[in-house]
Structure 1
Amino acid sequence: MGFAMAPALWALVLVPAAAALYVAHLRRFPRDAVLHPRSVALAAAAARAGPWRRHLPAALLLFALTAALLALARPTLPLPVPADRSVVMLAMDTSGSMRSEDIAPNRLEAAKAAARAFVAALPRGLRVGLVAFGGYAELVVPPTTDRERLRAAIDGLGFIRRTAIGEGLLEAVMAILGASRPAPDPWSGAPTPLVVPPDARPVRPGSAVIVLLSDGRSNAGVDALEVAAFARRQGIVVHTVGVGQPYAAGNVWTIGGTLDEETLREIAAATGGAYFHAASARGLHQIYRRLARDVGWERRPVEVPALAALVAAVALVGALGTAIVLRPVG
């Protein structure tokens, strides 16, 4: 806990001062004795109540004073608030190898479930988009705050032949930039050099994030590491998630090649992101939930003077209530 107006804490010296006044008041003896017709009954009641009960109202009153003075100092607590992000893109491998059943029920269905959980855990106002890629890439949903549209698009993902990680990454980068991706040369068919299109919108470094999932290795399209370098120049962070095993499993039904962890690690390292590996549906779900927390939220000091004021009010009511309940009945 911190305080936005720490100098106001000096007012807390009033608390021990009030306590000292209370103790001094208790030590004062009356000059004249007062006769009460039920003095014996009162003495017996005081003995049964115990010495601490007579001090309870005063203790609660001092606690209320302490909480009220803390409220004046504007206390702060580190609470989760939406991170300062502009857009997050999901890039999902939907190649034929995602049919493999080493992750139940299969890799694609597990990835869909994890992606839905990821979207649900993000702040509502954060724009999120979806890219699917196999041998080619498709912008399924441009960045939007429409969560229902996004969830429906995730549910509707199907399979695409071959794997082109670079194509999927490039499509996600261009979606963040709000630009059309470079067209190939009409004569040679070679892709256009990776340059920022004239219609691209500027991106504040670190404000845009891509979460790319793949279970294989590229066998088509542009080089993924070249696209990663291009993303880094635009200030875009890429987290990568590898699904399945980097070796051929012999006890479950799989299709396609092995996982290219090396490339996924290099993509993440080149852009300031992190690489994660999931060998089960539960592990994949946990990775995406963690990414949602890291990408969508951050802890910042938030002022909570109302909370301290509420505590003070409750303590004050408690002090008044106990004073009435414990008041001797004559």
Structure 2
Amino acid sequence: MKNVNWSILGTGVVANEMAVALKNAGRKVYAVGNRTHAKAVAFAEKYGIEKVYADYHDMFHDDNVDVIYITTPHNTHINFLREALAAGKHVLCEKSITLNSAELREAVTLAKQNNVLLGEAMTIYHMPLYKKLTQMYQAGKFGKVNLLQLNFGSFKKYDMANRFFNKNLAGGAMLDIGVYALSLARIFWTSKPENILSQVTYAPTGVDEKAGLLMTNKEGEITNISLSLHSKQPKRAVISCEKCYIEIMEYPRACEAVIVNAASGEKTVLKEGEICRALQYEMEDMESAIAGDIKVLHLTDTIDVMEIMSKIRNEWQLYYPEEADKGIL
């Protein structure tokens, strides 16, 4: 496969992380674009990027660009996805990949129509630890999955102008942190849950500040998820199986899991990958997909997770301004 020309849209924290990841992997960022041109210029100077677009829309129509990494807020994703995919560019898009299922279906259709790849930059799908755990699970090492418990609690300053609480920026716990918990659960579920119960507490702005989710699928696998934007919790996942349970701390970018034998209590520590290379793993999987191994993108899992989040928000009647006049499922 020829060298892949990467272009980054946005210049925020995650964009900087990806620029470093590409450099560390021996890749070169070909171009950068940003709504504020001066920020794009500064970003290019920092990372030795040769191409800066005066109008970031030009990125979508540059014949030298192979892949666009979209790092902007998730309420902006669908418009950029429309333009990039229609122009025949592969896209790796930050989580949450879209606001809702309707937008994601549109993006998936556009990718198929233009024979390009679409992937979500969800660390859990790409970290070596989860690839190893998946292999072990599929080989029958753990037995049947019975219960999954996942916590994710952040303590964000109670500033209603902050993007985490800002409805105009699609704030709220579900799309910002719930997507991690659901993505981890999805790689262990035999099938997507059919029954979902939820409780939610809203911030003054109307976005979901705290939520509890309880889900079951037809195989009887039960999942319990606790989320908060204003109450610190450990990012802890416990997957309880017939033969053992698996405990993972700081699971969004985890490189270690503790496997506890159900009968003996014996503990085995499994270590795979490095936290500092999380975005590099995403980039490498995107390039592998372009070379033909499309399953590494986990697009069907992304679709399932988005359908669950949309269904729950629909039950909550929690919609963002972009969704006011249309369905989200």
Give the alignment's TM-score, normalised by structure 2.
0.25
Greater share of strand: 2
Higher normalized helix content (fraction of residues): 1
Higher RCO structure, 1 or 2 (CA under 8 Å, sep 6+): 1
Q: TM-score, normalised by structure 1?
A: 0.25
